[in-house]
Chains A and B, each alone.
Chain A
């Protein structure tokens, strides 16, 4: 069974540009989560999608947005990139009414120059 897959693995952008990151959940999982892992800051919750809807978001500005598609895959968009957006972005999936365990992908590393 395929795990959570993310693309691209690495992405380099300059300040002010936009970045799009993609995530495919484990088959059968309807919930997708995005976390930001910046150096020294641990994992910060960004967004939770379930059944195509944004259910909850963390304390991030509106330029962080995303969506979930009918096949439950998801994309994260970061507009007007700033240097401090450089981080590893981790996607996770779970069953909506499951045990709460999240299954993580290997992440997309975004570097903003």
Chain B
């Protein structure tokens, strides 16, 4: 069955430091992969997505992610974190075909940014 694993439940980084959030997926075919961000009390906002092509994808707010098929990973990165990046981040894989059409989410990584 398709699944997404985010190994880090909680991460704290200093403002200005680099960030990498890990995501591993399990999917039989070429995956459609997403990263969403959820600020407190808010819905989810799409940061970036990968469907095919260049394995390094750029998103909004200075985020990028790299698809590595050999490692079944889709890690999210940002070179310099801002205090406003404090939020919860969710990785997701698209589960399509037949009667199914949904995103399967990981359990999320809560990012704290310290001054």
Contacts and interface: CB of A to CB of B under 8 A. Distances in A.
Interface of A: 4, 31, 33, 35, 41-43, 45, 48, 50, 55-56, 58, 90, 92, 99-107
Nearest to B99: A56
Tell me whether chain A's interface is mostly helix, strand or loop, or mixed: strand
Contacts of B44: 43, 90, 92, 102, 104
A63 B100 CA distance: 21
Interface of B: 32, 34, 36, 41-46, 49, 51, 90, 94, 96, 99-108
A44 to B, nearest CB: 8
A45 B102 contact: yes
B58 to A, nearest CB: 15
B102 A107 contact: no
Nearest to A44: B105
A42 B102 contact: no
B90 A107 contact: no
B90 A42 contact: yes
Contacts of B49: 99-101
